[in-house]
Amino acid sequence: MEVVTVTQKNGSDETYEVIVVGGGAAGLSAALTLGRARRRTLVVDAGEPRNAPAAHMQGYLTRDGMSPAEFLARGREEIASYGVDLVRDRAVAVTRGERGFAVGLAGGRTVYARRLVVTTGLKDELPQVPGVAERFGRDVVHCPFCHGWEVRDERFGVLAAGPMSVHQALMVTGWSKDVTLFLHTVDESELSDQDLRRLAAAQVKVVPGEVAGLVVEDDRITGVRLTDGTVHSRSVVFVAPRALPRTALLESLGVELAETPFGAYPVVDPTGLTSVPGVYTAGNAMGFAEQVVHAVSGGYRAASAIVGDLIMSDLDATLED
């Protein structure tokens, strides 16, 4: 267990006002706001950011093109400057009791807090096609808003993984007019008449048949090979990973979840407050399409709400005395 930042303050070193579980963009943003509000805060970071395979991130004003690793490193430096503690460990259990929320860490430590922010994100489960996992984040990508500009006008292939793959194939035509949809394990009969008309209007070529793997030459994708042996020349492949939200901690507290086409996510108010008082969430822990810029905003909103909640709670407690 690596302790990145240790800042001793008044009170037990195991007790905080807020614990943030997850050290990605959402968690660090929440921690920065809490630190600036002079709230004793701990970030528990397992070090598994969703965008780790990507060499750069896009669409974030003034940070366009920055590597995710550099972005997080800078964020950790910023929260440390405000006295926020960060521990390299994994939160494996959480309960609610007299001392507030008790968070058990894999390293054996138990830490406590009055409020909890869960920003544990999600995991992308990729199609089991040889070459996809190895190339993911390079010339196998999933989001045109994240990577479309960098691969513009290339020969796109879209690997179908379900009904949303037609939507993905149509969307990426904004970045290239040479798009082929490989149906893979999707039967052509599953496509609606509207799907087929739209694909034809967008001049997307539809190829039935299961994909056996990607053809890679000189460390670049050059084609998509079907199980019948035919190879279709392509240089970029879009996939739609299956989202696996990391909601185990939230579920253990009884947080209400809602099913979506991309998994079950917590029901939250505009600040990220879940159905359990004192428990907030932000980033991909609350939704599939939370990009870095959204995650940062969500962390800020949750932290701001927590600061107000703590101030009012303390005042009310004083009045009761």
What 3-state DSSP class applies to 291? coil
Element (H, E) at 168: helix 164-171
Torsion on CA atoms 221, 227, 231, 232, rounded to nearest 10? -80
CA distance 196 to 76: 48
What 3-state DSSP class applies to 212? strand
pLDDT of residue 164: 84
* pLDDT tens for each residue of the chain, 321 residues long: 333 443 333 345 699 999 999 999 999 999 999 999 999 999 999 998 888 888 888 889 999 999 999 999 999 999 999 999 999 999 999 999 888 999 999 999 999 999 999 999 999 899 999 999 999 999 999 999 999 999 999 999 999 987 789 999 999 999 999 999 999 999 998 999 999 999 999 999 999 999 999 999 999 999 999 999 999 999 999 999 988 999 999 999 999 999 998 899 999 999 999 999 999 999 999 998 899 999 999 999 999 999 999 999 999 989 987
The string of pLDDT tens digits covering residues 253-276 is 999 999 998 899 999 999 999 999
CA distance 115 to 303: 10
The string of pLDDT tens digits covering residues 99-131 is 899 999 999 999 999 999 999 999 989 999 999
Task: Tell me which long-range contacts 146-153 makes (C-beta under 8 A, separation of at least 24).
Answer: 146/54, 146/57, 146/58, 146/59, 146/291, 147/54, 147/58, 148/172, 148/174, 148/175, 149/58, 149/175, 150/56, 150/58, 151/175, 151/176, 151/235, 151/236, 152/176, 153/177, 153/178
CA distance 26 to 203: 39
Task: Tell me which long-range contacts 262-270 makes (C-beta under 8 A, separation of at least 24).
Answer: 262/288, 262/289, 263/122, 263/288, 270/301
Element (H, E) at 25: helix 25-36
Tell how far CA 224 is from the center of its chain. 28
- Mode of pairing for the β-strands spanning 110-118 and 279-281: parallel
Lookup: tokens for 229: 């042996």
CA distance 255 to 249: 9
How is 35-80 classified by DSSP, letter by letter? HHTT--EEEEE-S--TTTT-S---SSTTTTT--HHHHHHHHHHHHH
Lookup: tokens for 22: 């997850």
CA distance 118 to 41: 13
